[in-house]
Amino acid sequence: MELRMKRSVIVWWLFLLSPLVLGACVLAGATGISGLDWHTATGRAIFWLRVHRVAAGFVIGAGLSCSGVVLQALLRNPLADPYILGVSSGAGLGAALVIVSGFAVAGLLPVSAFLAAILTLSVVILLARNGGAPSIYGLLLSGVIVSSMCSSMLMLIISLASAEGLHSITWWMLGNLQIVSSSLLMISGTLIILGALGIWGLARNLNALTLGREMAHHLGIRTGVAVTLALALATLTTAASVGLAGLIGFVGLIVPHLMRSLVGPDHRRLVPAAALAGGWFLALCDALARTALAPVEIPVGVITALIGGPFFLILLRRRRKHGWVE
């Protein structure tokens, strides 16, 4: 079969198998995979709770993966992930501020984390602008600087926080998919899906931009607009994900890598593949987080790295081609 066909087929399989995988995640409970109790109100409530979590896991995984794809393409760097420009520290600082000030109960936590993430990335992007579109090194440098500043302020808050506040902050920073409200899920989910679709629409521009800004210019792309738009969409999806579930790491770094090795670096295929695979991955990790040590719940951020790390290492080692030029 032609290579292009083979790669497209992988994307289709990811798409077609999604309901199956997500269904299995919904069925996964404290006693392993089992049927659901439709007849009691509790049973129905549990079902809807799980549907919410699986849906949240799917969109957040998809959003973080897409965002990771964008940043790896724009920074032309395999180490890039959605948090590389300091979102994690910025959003963490926003969340910690709300937690220690005691407003967390009012549902302000996701909003403040979302806004802090947007604010951090906007500051980084604005700092990196040098007349035109931000340069790679400008972005990385200002990202590191803003990130360190946010981190040290976060450390200050943590050192002053009460034991209870400290626990909340830590829990939030590890990330979890316990959904506060379905309306929040709807709003964040919509933002993430729109962001991911927008990123997919930019796929050809991302392709051209990985050839370098100058080459993209010659190919007829308004590079300043394209780079800024791509960064804005990545910021939106990341911030919406962070607002919804805290800092879930690893998804946005490793899923794009794995998908690049499976479907190639062409972003027209890579973006949907990474979105679907990221969704699967996080939904599955969350199912594991809920069930592995039930009734104790492991933070899903721990699972993603702990289980995902070795799993992807094996997969990547097996496949010689990584989609990157060595």
Partner 1 sequence: MNQAFALEQVSAGYQRTPIFRNLQLAVTEGEMVALLGPNGAGKSTLLRVLTGLLTPTAGTIRLFGQDVNKLRAAERARLIAVVPQELKTPMAYTVAELVLMGRTALLNPWRQPSAVDSQVVERAMVYTDVSDLSNRSLDALSGGEKQRAVIAMALAQEPRIIVMDEPTTHLDLNHSLEIMQIIERLNREQGVTVMMTSHDLNMAAEFCQRLILLDQGQVVADGTPEAVLKEEILREVYHCDLRVRKDTPTGALFVAPARRPPLPRPATAMRVHVIAGGGSGGELLRQLALCGYRVTCGVLNQMDSDARAAEALGMVQIMEKPFSPIGPEALSQAKHLATDAAAVILCEVPFGPGNLINLEIAEDALQKGIPVLINDRNLEKRDYTAGQNVVARIRQLIQSGAICWRQGNVALTALARLSGSAPRQSSP
User: Looking up tokens 């995979």, which residue turns up?
Assistant: 33
Q: Name the residue nearer to partner 1 (CB basis): 52 or 217.
A: 217
Q: Name the residue nearer to partner 1 (CB basis): 198 or 243.
A: 198
The DSSP output letter for 283 is H
Q: Which stretch binds partner 1 (CB under 8 A): 98-106, 142-150, 218-226, 239-247?
A: 218-226
Q: Which stretch binds partner 1 (CB under 8 A): 89-97, 105-113, 158-166, 261-269?
A: 261-269
182 binds partner 1 (CB under 8 A): no
323 binds partner 1 (CB under 8 A): yes
User: To the nearest whole angstrom, how small is the minimum distance from the Cβ of residue 326 to partner 1?
Assistant: 6
78 binds partner 1 (CB under 8 A): yes
297 binds partner 1 (CB under 8 A): no
65 binds partner 1 (CB under 8 A): no
The count of chain residues that interact with partner 1, using the rule CB under 8 A, is: 35
The pairs formed by 273-276 with CB atoms below 8 angstroms and a separation of 24 or more are 273/10, 273/11, 273/14, 274/62, 274/65, 274/66, 274/68, 274/69, 275/62, 275/63, 275/65, 275/66, 275/196, 275/200, 276/11, 276/14, 276/15, 276/18, 276/62
How far apart are the C-alpha atoms of 232 and 34, rounded to whole Å?
42
Q: Which stretch binds partner 1 (CB under 8 A): 41-49, 94-102, 162-170, 219-227?
A: 219-227
What Cα–Cα distance (Å) separates residue 131 from each residue in 125, 127, 136, 209, 212? 12, 10, 14, 19, 18
What Cα–Cα distance (Å) separates residue 141 from each residue in 133, 221, 249? 15, 25, 21
Q: Which stretch binds partner 1 (CB under 8 A): 98-106, 118-126, 217-225, 228-236?
A: 217-225
Closest CA to 286 of 51, 44, 109: 51
Q: Name the residue nearer to partner 1 (CB basis): 65 or 304.
A: 65
29 binds partner 1 (CB under 8 A): no
272 binds partner 1 (CB under 8 A): no
Q: Which stretch binds partner 1 (CB under 8 A): 52-60, 93-101, 246-254, 264-272?
A: 264-272
Contacting partner 1 (CB under 8 A), which of 165, 265, 299, 308? 265
User: To the nearest whole angstrom, how small is the minimum distance from the Cβ of residue 88 to partner 1?
Assistant: 24
For the chain, the distance separating the N- and C-terminal CA atoms, rounded to the nearest angstrom, is: 26
Q: Which residues pair with 29 in a beta bridge?
A: 32
Q: Name the residue nearer to partner 1 (CB basis): 44 or 218.
A: 218
How far apart are the C-alpha atoms of 287 and 322, rounded to whole Å?
28
How far apart are the C-alpha atoms of 60 and 203, rounded to whole Å?
20
Q: What are phi and psi of 32, to 5 degrees?
A: 85, -170
219 binds partner 1 (CB under 8 A): yes
Q: How far is CA 264 from the centre of its chain?
A: 20
10 binds partner 1 (CB under 8 A): no
Contacting partner 1 (CB under 8 A), which of 77, 122, 178, 228? 77
Q: Which residues bind partner 1 (CB under 8 A)?
A: 2-4, 73, 76-78, 201-205, 207-208, 210-212, 214-215, 217-222, 260, 264-266, 321-326
